[in-house]
Amino acid sequence: MKVLPFKIPMTGDPAILTQIDSGSHYYDILHKHPEYQITRVEKGHGTLICDEYLGRFEPGSLFMVGSNQPHVLQCDEEYYLGDESKTVYAESIFFRQDSLGREFLRLEETQGLSKFLDLGKQGLKFSARTSAQVAPLLQEMMPLKGFDLIVHYIRILKYLMEDTQTELLSHFQRSMTENEGQRMNAVMQYTIKNFRESITIDAIASVANMTPNAFCKYFKTRTRKTYLNYLNEIRIAYACRQLQDYNLSVSQVAHQSGFQNLSHFNRCFKRVMGVTPGKYGREMNRV
């Protein structure tokens, strides 16, 4: 699978485009487009790939994809099983760096915005606080046209610029090549489909068409985490949703999430979530 060029559907020549994505799952082919993209996830769980970044998305996730950055929101396996209760919903803005005109970014008052958009070329993930601030503005913005649309766009950018906990998604100046995109997409797809089973480094290296040692080095270099850490994050995210079921014990959740050893599950869960599985389940079921 190549990194597909993607044309954002537009009528006329708008400076800014809004879009709502809803359905059983998000568009799941690695793709890129010239526009920047700001997306807030309202419903849905899965993995975001953006260049070498590989991380979880969930309701409330807010991120920016840079111009021509290869990216995909790959939903978890459960969104492909025909369960009508598993749906997705996200609100997005698409725009170019000079959407408001090149002269606009040359003004003394907009130099901060110009620097922010330059940083945004590498992709950004925003804090939960900023996501909550932006949520009502994005919702109001979806049906707007004309000047009101531009005003909301500027207000949203202001909140994003002021976020002091922004995470840079890509630390590379070059984008992922088509071969790298194909390899990473294959690894992600295999992991999401098989995380509840035992996955060895030999097996996943074979999926990437690499030797185990080469794969481990490649994955760590491109994602800044080991493959086993990534696999455990996928498993823990699934376990979090399972723990909200009163009828399942911690032991059952561990097994269903792909952990063969309960002690290992407890250690991994606490490292990722900061609390034990039992305490997490009790707190979630008390809400």
CB atoms within 10 A of CB 43: 13
Lowest-confidence pick of 47-56, 111-120, 136-145: 47-56
Quick one: angle between helices 146-161 and 111-120, nearest 10?
80
| Amino acid code (one letter) for 244 | Q
Q: Residue 196 CA to chain centroid, in angstroms? A: 21
Per domain, the residue ranges of the chain are 4-168, 195-286
Tell which residue, 71, 77, 73, has the closest CA to residue 33: 71
The confidence score (pLDDT) of residue 231 equals: 92
The confidence score (pLDDT) of residue 173 equals: 55
Whole-model pTM? 0.72
Report pLDDT digits (tens) over 91-125: 999 999 988 888 888 888 888 898 999 999 999 99
Query: Following DSSP, what letter does each residue of 172-230 receive, concatenated?
Result: -SSPPPHHHHHHHHHHHHHHHHHTTS---HHHHHHHTTS-HHHHHHHHHHHHSS-HHHH
Q: Mean pLDDT in the chain?
A: 88
Q: Can you tell me the distance from the alpha carbon of 169 to that of 123, in angstroms, rounded to the nearest whole number?
A: 5
Over range 8-14, report the average pLDDT.
57
Tell me which architecture the domain covering 4-168 has in CATH. Sandwich (2.60)
Tell me which architecture the domain covering 195-286 has in CATH. Orthogonal Bundle (1.10)
Lowest-confidence pick of 9-18, 114-123, 124-133, 214-223: 9-18
Q: Can you tell me the distance from the alpha carbon of 112 to that of 245, in angstroms, rounded to the nearest whole number?
A: 47
Strand order in the sheet with 71-75: 4-5, 31-32, 71-75, 46-50, 53-57
Report pLDDT digits (tens) over 220-278: 888 888 999 989 988 998 898 888 876 789 999 999 999 999 999 999 999 988 999 99
Q: Can you tell me the distance from the alpha carbon of 86 to that of 138, in angstroms, rounded to the nearest whole number?
A: 23
Lookup: tokens for 277: 């599985």
